[in-house]
Amino acid sequence: MLLAAKQIAKIIATYVGDNAEFERQIKAGALEAELVPQGTFCERMRAGGAGIGGFFTPTGVGTIVAERKETRVIDGREYLLELPLHADFAFVKAFRGDRLGNLVYRKTARNFNPVMATAADVTIAEVEQLAEPGEIDPDTVVTPGIYVTHILQGHAYEKRIERRTTRARQLNGVGGHFWRTLI
């Protein structure tokens, strides 16, 4: 909705997908995009949340990612200086949270949500289960409430793929069967 309303001037992302409006705005020069390798993206957010002024990485050396970036040779290997990412707002999704903002994530939600929560001035967390303070085991908290400004309980979550099972198939004509269950 923000993209369609032309309320985005620049996007920093690891992947933008197949979005016709995004492509149209890029080609028209109405939107600036910075594509960043996924690990570098996460580390830039972590640096922003930790107050680190930047870090050096070999990822992207010799590619368009390196254009207009400071480089340094360390122990004979070239590195790029990557700057921290800060945000005005972060919208994160957690499995469970309490009214103080302590968050527990499940599965891939642990990838970017915890670091993004630390890198923003205002973090808004949506949780599937909202608990009262003291109901969450402190050892399971990934994002402490100090980083969360607002918390809300979402509703009507669609679980697209909980468990997928594939049928037996032959392995390259060897005659054996291969069974696989993805969880």
49: in domain:
yes
Do 105 and 71 reside in the same domain of the chain? no
Cα–Cα distance between 37 and 6 in angstroms, integer?
Answer: 25
168: in domain:
no
Domain limit, last residue, from 82, 98, 133: 82
Do 42 and 102 reside in the same domain of the chain? no
122: in domain:
yes
pTM, to two decimals: 0.78
Do 139 and 96 reside in the same domain of the chain? yes
Q: Which domain holds residue 132?
A: 87-153
If 0-12 CB within 10 Å is exposed, 13-18 middle and 19+ buried, where does residue 60 land? middle
pLDDT in tens, the chain (183 residues): 889 999 999 999 998 888 899 999 999 999 999 989 999 999 999 999 999 999 999 999 999 889 999 999 999 999 999 999 999 999 999 999 999 999 999 999 999 999 999 999 999 999 999 999 999 999 999 999 999 999 999 988 776 665 666 666 555 555 554 444 444
Report the relative pairing of strands 150-153 and 87-98 from DSSP bridges: unpaired
Do 141 and 115 reside in the same domain of the chain? yes
Cβ atoms within 10 A of the Cβ of 103, count? 28
If 0-12 CB within 10 Å is exposed, 13-18 middle and 19+ buried, where does residue 50 land? exposed
Do 66 and 91 reside in the same domain of the chain? no
Cβ atoms within 10 A of the Cβ of 69, count? 13
User: For the chain, what is the domain count?
Assistant: 2
92 membership: H or E segment, kind and range? strand 87-98
